[in-house]
Structure 1
Amino acid sequence: MADDHAAPASLLAPFDGAPPPAPAWFDATVAIEPERSTIEVLGTSIELLTWGEVGKPGLLFLHGNGAHADWWSFIAPYFAADWRIAAISWAGMGDSGWREAYSAETFAAEAFAAVEAAQLEVGGHKPIFVGHSFGGFPTLYCAARHAERLRGAILVDTSIQPPEKRWKGPPPRSGFGTKVYPTLEEALARFRLAPPQACENLYIADFIARRSLKEVEGGWTWKFDPAIWQRFSMPDLGLLLTEIACPAALMWGERSGLMHAETLDYMVAQMPKDVLRLPIPDADHHVMIDQPLAFTAGLRGLLAAWA
């Protein structure tokens, strides 16, 4: 996600608004454009991207906090030969509308509305959800409370702390995310990953950053709702871990600052014993940015286990 309050070092400023050079695999993958549409869910417009043929097994990608559906545009095409794929931008993020209040129930409604609109179940299979970071929270909720509707659920670097160390909510941050930058170049220079981490694949950071911004009067600003965390509610996540009732897997970056041994031990102890586990080497929290091809290969392996 973009975060004006993250680490001071700029990822993209050295390029002065020009895209960093990208390898051929990346250019070829993002050239496979999704079909773009919007759907109405509980009175809010939700951005929907789709790839692959209707009738093939369904796969729904769900992004993290402050991100958007195009975080999957360099991953999803690798699965399009065998899957019908969809990705959404959650309400309050990307090109989706904002809500007065956000909850597990509204996010679940958005996910299942995408399943219907993208026709992920036409082939006779229930869909598989893949949720990164915050996107793993609604994925977990669906795996626990709507398990009968899922073929499987994969949490990607979704951190759920032991109760005594659990996050108590954000402090008030007046004006967070609302600053307008006079030029696109200046806005791109302010893009950070949150939580802060190094980024070797700057061509991916640039691709994501350009799609995280919108042009407004006076310049450019971030697309996400800056007040989302002040208007958000979710059931006890630790309890939801114990209630997983469909095939599930946990992926994480081996260097992730959010997936310490204590956190992993707690999550694994709470989950059903048959939940698959897959660490991605040489990856931080943003696994698909740090190791996109290793992430893709690992995900293919997990999906093959449920074929």
Structure 2
Amino acid sequence: MASEPIPAPLAAFAGAKPPAPAWFDKALAVEPERFTHQGAGVTIETLAWGQRGKPGLLLLHGGSAHADWWSHLAPFFAETHRVVAPSWSGMGGTDWRPAYTMDDLMGEMLATIAATGLDEGPVKPVVVSHSFGSFPAMAFAATHGARIGGLMTIDSPFLSKEMRAKRDFGRPPSREPRDTIVYDTFEQALARFRLMPAQPADNLYVVDAIARRSLREVKKADGTSGWTWRFDPFMWSRMTRRDPAEDLAAATCRLAITWGSDSVLFPEEVKAYVRRQAPAGSLFIEIPEAQHHVLIDQPLALVTAMRAVLSAWEAEDKAR
């Protein structure tokens, strides 16, 4: 029997904000610097917290997402780090491309590091990436690993070719009907927001904050205003990928591989393969009570895990 579809999580609120705990409101009150810079042939939307000259922390979001997926987490590191979250090309407020490659996305990482001063600190910057964002990040670790102090990935399955051929983890088709619909009102569009891959979510205040930054106002054919999503609906069909498992094995910087304990992307087979494929000395961390969208499911546990990894690597740097 087919499972019931997961309803749109914000539909019941009719545009109203779900109640949020004090820590969340306090974090969002720490507004980032919002700006754009040029790099790899596009204009890149970028958010930054903290002072230049502090250790760099580059936060990379997942597919069809945007930099504000990190806005409730980045402030936890802003006093000790220069924290930067860009939007990938084709997503958020960054330019779309006629075609997308991992080389393009790695170029965006290099440009962002240079433009935001992430490499001006006393140690090499650390990269933290979620979901799809870990594929260009791991390609970077294999190609430019000497430029960074380490890479922490969050629920990103690095599969063999055989495993990729067998599995469908819910990657959206090249064009879904909801991608091209222009909604009459912001509230109507917000009520249609869904996570990919689909999952229930308890912390709807996080979902709501992310969803509100996922929309853009556009002109409809009749000249009136409407709302649609801030990502390129053709991005997936126009993207050339690398082999992520080969990049994992070839990484030349420190790695910390994390996943949600209840993630559909990390069955035991995937966990075992990733452990075998990763270079010696890599760290492996499971976040309890989390599905794929760890940033939503267990944000404070993720902050703790990130702090632990950063502290461990900083201690290693000091001991050298």
TM-score of the superposed pair, with normalisation by structure 1: 0.95
Equivalenced residue count is 302
The answer to whether the 8 Å contact 1:160/1:166 transfers is no
Match of 1:227 in 2: 234
SS at match of 2:179: coil
The answer to whether the 8 Å contact 1:250/1:275 transfers is yes
Match of 1:72 among 51, 70, 85: 70
**Do the aligned partners of residues 157 and 174 (structure 1) sit closer, same or farther apart at CA in structure 2, a change above 3 Å counting?**
closer
Structure 2 distance, partners of 1:21, 1:172, is 35
Structure 2 distance, partners of 1:112, 1:222, is 27
* Sequence identity percentage: 48
The answer to whether the 8 Å contact 1:157/1:253 transfers is yes
The answer to whether the 8 Å contact 2:40/2:111 transfers is no
Match of 2:248 in 1: 241
The answer to whether the 8 Å contact 1:125/1:151 transfers is yes
**Do the aligned partners of residues 7 and 224 (structure 1) sit closer, same or farther apart at CA in structure 2, a change above 3 Å counting?**
farther
Match of 1:182 in 2: 184
The answer to whether the 8 Å contact 1:176/1:226 transfers is no
Question: Once the 2 structures are TM-superposed, how far is the Cα of residue 172 of structure 1 from its aligned partner?
Answer: 4.9
Match of 1:47 in 2: 45
Indicate whether 1:125 and 2:123 are aligned.
yes
TM-score of the superposed pair, with normalisation by structure 2: 0.91
The answer to whether the 8 Å contact 2:249/2:279 transfers is yes
Describe how 1:1-307 pairs up with structure 2 within 5 A. 7-167=5-165, 171-173=173-175, 175=177, 177-218=179-220, 219-307=226-314
Structure 2 distance, partners of 1:172, 1:54, is 39
- What letter matches 2:199 in structure 1? Q
Question: Once the 2 structures are TM-superposed, how far is the Cα of residue 8 of structure 1 from its aligned partner?
Answer: 4.8
Q: Which runs of 5+ in 2 are unaligned?
A: 221-225, 315-320
Structure 1 distance, partners of 2:6, 2:275, is 35
Cα RMSD for the two superposed structures: 1.5
Question: Once the 2 structures are TM-superposed, how far is the Cα of residue 176 of structure 1 from its aligned partner?
Answer: 5.4
SS at match of 2:209: helix
Question: Once the 2 structures are TM-superposed, how far is the Cα of residue 264 of structure 1 from its aligned partner?
Answer: 1.1
- What letter matches 1:52 in structure 2? G
The answer to whether the 8 Å contact 1:250/1:278 transfers is yes
Question: Once the 2 structures are TM-superposed, how far is the Cα of residue 161 of structure 1 from its aligned partner?
Answer: 2.3
SS at match of 2:58: strand
Q: Which runs of 5+ in 1 are unaligned?
A: 1-5
- What letter matches 2:179 in structure 1? G
- What letter matches 1:51 in structure 2? W
